[in-house]
Structure 1
């Protein structure tokens, strides 16, 4: 799959931008702050409705305007599909497919698939669990767009249940008996949505695992063994929470998992009321990264951390390609080569050179590896010029 045309209206720094893109490698070269990352960010946003740079959509809308539009023509085999997404600050996005409005915005998810490599990826290894949960969930949305709705529903239920727990905690501290009459209902709703997310994440971890091991070996030239495992708050009371292979298998049964979540919430109810938060569910889980048997976070060197982050993205590309009969997603390399040493730069460039479409950004021409020679655009002062 590749993006043949891209147009932006009031997206980030661009009042208007129209580009024709080709399969193969396309590089956007320009000094920092000129808008090159804004271009590839728009392509990536179409896949998951989220940015690898900011948490809020408000920053994506050009200052002083009411909304932004991203329009892209995706080509899969010989079939062309036009996707349009309108981002309205403070309101739900609106979408069109082949110029016709869709009833649900998430119906356009998965049409433009991409994998983004960026300097922020180091947080996957060195950062908090939230970054790794987001990594799993965004990949899940690309693989199964319906999970975007499950994820949104889970977040909404979690907020509502949290508000109830907080009010109950306040009542308890004042010496009153808290009203928990509706909590059982919220427990069931949270468990139903949460079980779907946990089961899907564990299935994804199992699919990623061999690709991560192989990609890390290639990027690092065989210097260490990279492994993934899933840590669940469901298991934390009996051990460190890290699921064994046998436990992983048991946690892919959605119905049984929902029952386990309801039971765990009941056992933790008093503690949840005291703290005013939900203590079990996918929002408390983590993707555990180990290197040579030791946690990558805290033990891996800077170079090893980069190799692990690259392995996670390369594994994502492999899983998406397997899911789509070998039709790989668009590969986006956002200013990543400037962060890598020469050896990792060359290995990464060699590994991704065969992708159907690679979009990369670089501050200077020298940051574009020779393996990735192709079309080139210069980005300066808001102007994008093809060389």
Structure 2
């Protein structure tokens, strides 16, 4: 009797709900905690089927479950702890932790359900989940922000490195410019100063022949100085990007013959500049000023770096797809080790010796050819001469509209 009272006191004061149900699923007893959880009075539940505490579809399925259990003895929930959904008297649903056990009491089976309301735990869990989600989002944002910052820092580092490299390159170019200018400009200026002094001397003696000679030297020195300044100006225009090709149709034969004649005037003793054109067309569509500058530089170099009594071959060719310009000499050539740097500003091959030059010419030619969407190629061997070829692709319209003439293969020798 004392044990029964103690057990009853424990059940009555328990914080979790305790319900006993008979084999048909009818509620026999429910403790105060259970009544509070579901919001019922004791007489509203005792004698009712326990499914009254379940929402659909669990309520409809519970009767079938009990029948299946009585026939087969298969236990799906008995002896296990599960989380289920309960339904209060007012119809609200809430989460429960449910544990069901069976007890053989005298000659019948009684089922005891232990219920714990998980509402607060679930609310706390949702709050934690929400805070966790917000924290994850914050961490993700901060991570993205840090990654972006690292990317920007890396980019800034690369840009700074490039700027430093460009600054070093610019400093190197300036140093080479100062060195080259001090040498190349001094040479024609010294020649001019000496020629003027000699002219004054011979004028006093009224000797005409020496005066004409030194006037010619003075003229050449001024021409050299003008050429140097023109190269500086061309390089500056390319640097600031104000040089733009203006393509127009012109007669390449007339253009090349005039250029050959002009270049012959600056040739050395017994140097001969030959000209040949190949192709059935004679009209080309390029910037005449830029292509003249390129060819003038290449032929001037051929004259300068070739000896007396040599032949310089100048040729043009128009194919179905391209315009080709070639300048070939038999001069000192370009050392193989210098090939990779030959188009760099202010670079001069190591075998040029005392031959004057700024090192800007081929750099400007390369830039002009690129501006006209062309390509420049060369072959050269030490003391075996050099050949430069400029190639430009025709447009589709040019391949249709170019003026046609009888097949031409001319060889002009000055």
- Coarse TM-score class (shorter-chain normalised): under 0.3
* TM-score (normalised: structure 1): 0.19
* TM-score (normalised: structure 2): 0.18
